[in-house]
Amino acid sequence: MNVVTWIKSTSGGKLAWRLFIAFLGGIITFIGLIFMLTPGPGIPVLLIGLAILATEFAWAKRAVTKAKEAATSAGERAPFLKMKTLIPVGLVITLFAVGYWVHLTFNKG
């Protein structure tokens, strides 16, 4: 018998486990929401919090399922050809920008 099964074996333990999951998942989801507004990995942290909540709550499981469907749909809509050209073009622009910055920095005279 593992620890979670042992905790959930009584009605009080089941309630305590659900409260623990609600607290832990809620805190992580809240941190993810804060990261959405500040620099940080907002979406991954938000999804981790929802995944924790989904272990005990049906509404969170539906939210995770919708997020997976949206990610799959977006991935199917994004043409591969655009990504094949976008990365090299971005790299060339970045190299020109860095070269120009180096030129301005070292040729001040």
Task: Please give the residue that has the higher pLDDT: either 75 or 102.
Answer: 102
pLDDT digits (tens, 9 = 90+) for 9-21: 888 888 988 999 9
- Is pLDDT of 108 > 80? no
- What is the average pLDDT across 62-67? 90
Task: Please give the residue that has the higher pLDDT: either 4 or 64.
Answer: 64
Which of these, 57, 18, 14, lies nearest to 6 by C-alpha position? 14
| Chain centre to alpha carbon of residue 107 | 43
User: Distance between CA 84 and CA 82 in Å, rounded?
Assistant: 5
- What is the average pLDDT across 79-92? 76
Residue 79's pLDDT is what? 67
User: Distance between CA 105 and CA 100 in Å, rounded?
Assistant: 9
User: What are the boundaries of each domain within the chain?
Assistant: 3-78, 79-109
User: Distance between CA 48 and CA 54 in Å, rounded?
Assistant: 10
Q: Which long-range contacts (CB under 8 A, 24 or more apart) does 45-52 make?
A: 49/25, 50/25, 51/25, 52/21, 52/24, 52/25, 52/28
Residue 109's pLDDT is what? 55
pLDDT digits (tens, 9 = 90+) for 24-51: 999 999 999 999 888 888 888 999 999 9
Is 0.75 surpassed by the pTM of this model?
A: no
User: Distance between CA 19 and CA 32 in Å, rounded?
Assistant: 20
